[in-house]
Homo-oligomer: A and B are copies of this chain.
C-alpha cells in the first residue's frame, strides 16, 4: 500500500480522513482497548459519505427527515464517534473521545443508542445494524407515502463488515429489502478480507456481490480509498431502483504495520505502532489534536445540511396544525389520547359478551379497534399471519405497490422481523408490531434483547404460547420462554388471561415508549374471567386479585394466561370444600415488581399457602411462592417440568397434570 501516493493524489481529502484515523488511533491507545483497524480502513468512505451525500445537520440531530447513518460494524465505534465530534455534535466533545470506553462516558465500546445523538441504533452484535437499516428504510418508504415527499424523503446508509454479512440475519434482511425494493437503502460493505481469526477466506468464500444481486439488489463497487470512486459509487447507488450495495475494497488498519492482518482488526496500542502509523500518514500533530482548519472544514460538513433542514421546517410549518400535532405525536411515540377510551369501551364489551376466544383472537379483536385509531401502527408476521392474527380489516399489505399498506409479510424471518421492527421504532413515526409463534422467540431473541437495551418499544405478538399448541409437538411448545424473557431487563412480558386482559395489555404496549412488550398469547380458546367491567387497567399493576377467598383465606392461587381459568376452577373445587381461596392473575410480573411494596403485600399477603399455575417451567416462580422476605408461606407449583409432547392440547394438559384437580390437590397437600 503506497500511503504517500494516496495522500499526494488527494491531499485535502487525505488530511480530512486522517482526522478520523488519528482520533481512532489516539482513543484506542488511551483506552488500551477497542478496534483501530476498521475506522482506519473506512475513513475515506465515511469522509466522502458525510461530505457529499449524507443529509444531516449536526446542530439539529433530531431533524426527522435527516438521512440515517448506521454503523452495523459497531466494533468500529471510533469511526462514528470521530465523525460526530468532527462535524460538531455538541455532546461529542473531545473529552468524551479521550474517555473512550470509560465509565460514564458516552463513548461506549460499541455505539449505544441513547448515549449520544447521531448514534441511530445500538450495534455491536453483528448483523443487527444492517437489519435495523432495512427497518429504517421500510419506515421511510411508508412515511413518505403517508406524509408526502415534502415531509419524509431521505436515505438510509449502512456500513457493514464481513461479520455482518456472515451472520444469518443479514440474509433475512437483504432478501426482505430486495423483495420490498427499498431503493433508498444503501449498504456500504467494508470489503477488507479480514476477520478476527484471520482471512475471511478461512471461513467464507461467498461472492457477496452475487449474493446480494440474487436477492434483487443493485450492486456497485469501488476502491474504498479513492474518493472519486467512492463518490461515483454513492451517486450511482442513490439512483438505483432497488436497494444498493457498494463493495468498498479497503485495507484494514491502513498504513500501520498491522495493515491487512487480523491483528489490525483489534486495538493498536503500541506507542511505536501508533507513532509510525501517524508518520506514514504525514500527521505530525499531538495526540487528539485536530488542526483548526481541518476542524473548521469538518464543522462546515456538519452545518451544510442546515439549509435543507430549515427548508423542511418551513414545509412542516405549512402543514395544518392538526397534521403538525399528529406528526409530532407519532414521532414522540405517544399513543393517541382516544386510545384509553377505546380500550375501555372494548373491555366493557368483552366483559359483557364474555367470549370464549383464544387470546391471539382477542388480540386481533383489540387490533381491529386499535388500528383504526392509531394510524402509526405497522404490523406484520413472519409468515404466520393467519395464526398470529396480526392483520385487521383494511390495513393493506405493505409492498412496492402499496407503501401505505400497514401489514408486512416478513417471510419466514423472525430475526430480521424483530431487527427491522427495532429500526422502525428508532426511525420514529411508526409503531411496529410483529408476530410469530412464541417458541420462535428463540430466533428473534438477539434483536429483542436490543429492543430492551435500547429502551425502545416495539410490540412482539407471540402466539401459541404453551403446550396448548397441541399436535405440533415440543419444538413448537415453549416451556422456558416466559422465564427467558422475564429474566431480560426492561422487557414487559404480558400473558393475558382473556379478552379483557389482552385489551389491557395492548393499551400498555402502545403507551410504552421506553420498554418493549411481548404478548404471549394462547392458541386455544379461553373463557372470559374478567366478567365484571372495571374501567381501571388492572393489568397495569402487573398482578391483582381476580377472585378473593370466601371465608377464611387459606390459599392463594397465582396464575397467568390460559391457566387463570384453571385456577378459577380449582378455586371452585376448594371453596366447595370450605377452603377459602384467592385467585391472583399475574399478567405481567415486571409491572407487579414495580408496584409499591404495600400493594404487592395486599395482593400476596403472608399466611395462606401459595400455589402457582403456569403451563411453563417453574423457573422464576419462587420469587412469588416464598414471599418478599422469605416468609414461611409454603409454596407449590403446577406446571411443566420438561419439554412438551405431540398430542391434542386438552390431552396434554391432562397428561402433564395441569388441571383444576391437580391444583386443588396441591393446595390440600400443603395445608
* A residues in contact (CB < 8 Å) with B: 31, 33-34, 74, 101-105, 108-110, 112, 122-126, 162-163, 166-172, 175-176, 178-179, 195-198, 201-208, 210-211, 213-216, 381, 383-387, 397, 409-413, 415-416, 439-440, 442-443, 445-446, 449-450, 452-453, 470-476, 479-480, 483-484, 486-490, 617, 619-620, 622-623, 625-627, 629-635, 641-643, 645-648, 651-652, 655
Contacts and interface: CB of A to CB of B under 8 A. Distances in A.
Contact of A108 (B104, B175, B484, B646): B646
Nearest to A414: B167
22 contacts: A31-B471, A103-B645, A108-B646, A109-B473, A110-B476, A110-B646, A122-B475, A162-B412, A167-B172, A168-B413, A179-B205, A196-B384, A197-B385, A202-B397, A205-B215, A449-B480, A453-B474, A453-B475, A483-B487, A486-B619, A619-B623, A629-B634
A411 B204 contact: yes
Contacts of A172: 166-168
A655 B103 CA distance: 9
Q: Name, among A104, A167, A172, A215, the residue most crowded by chain B CB atoms within 10 Å (CB to CB).
A: A167
A176 B197 contact: no
Contact of A483 (B112, B387, B411, B483): B483
Contact of A409 (B110, B179, B202, B473): B202
A423 to B, nearest CB: 16
B480 A489 contact: yes
Nearest to A489: B642
A125 B625 contact: no
A210 B202 contact: no
B483 A409 contact: no
Contact of A196 (B34, B178, B205, B386): B386
Contacts of A384: 196-197
A412 B195 contact: yes
Given A175-B166, A487-B487, A471 B101 contact: yes
Q: Name, among A197, A413, A445, the residue most crowded by chain B CB atoms within 10 Å (CB to CB).
A: A197
Contacts of A125: 439-440, 442-443, 475-476
Contacts of A168: 167-172, 413, 415-416
A179 B452 CA distance: 36
Contacts of A480: 449, 484, 487-489
B487 A652 contact: no
A384 B198 CA distance: 10
Contact of A381 (B178, B197, B387, B487): B197
Q: Name, among A168, A416, A445, the residue most crowded by chain B CB atoms within 10 Å (CB to CB).
A: A168
Contacts of A109: 471-473, 476, 646
Q: Name, among A101, A179, A384, A619, the residue most crowded by chain B CB atoms within 10 Å (CB to CB).
A: A619
A626 B619 contact: no
A411 B195 contact: yes
Contact of A206 (B126, B215, B416): B215
Nearest to A450: B475
Given A108-B473, A626-B630, A630-B635, 5 more contacts: A101-B471, A176-B203, A196-B384, A197-B383, A619-B620
Given A206-B178, A472-B124, A166 B620 contact: no
A483 B175 contact: no
A93 to B, nearest CB: 17
Contacts of A412: 126, 162-163, 166-167, 195, 203
Contacts of A629: 634
A449 B477 CA distance: 12
A342 B586 CA distance: 51
Given A176-B203, A384-B196, A646-B101, A474 B112 contact: yes
Contacts of A201: 179
Contacts of A634: 629-630
A620 B620 contact: yes
Contacts of A381: 197
Given A445-B445, A630-B625, A163 B619 contact: no
Contacts of A206: 175, 178, 214-216
A13 to B, nearest CB: 31
A175 B202 CA distance: 12
Contacts of A623: 619, 622
Given A622-B623, A634-B630, A489 B112 contact: no
Contacts of A411: 166, 195, 202-204
Contacts of A655: 103
Contacts of A175: 166, 204, 206
Contacts of A385: 196-197
A205 B176 contact: no
Q: Name, among A486, A490, A620, the residue most crowded by chain B CB atoms within 10 Å (CB to CB).
A: A620
B647 A101 contact: yes
A483 B446 contact: no
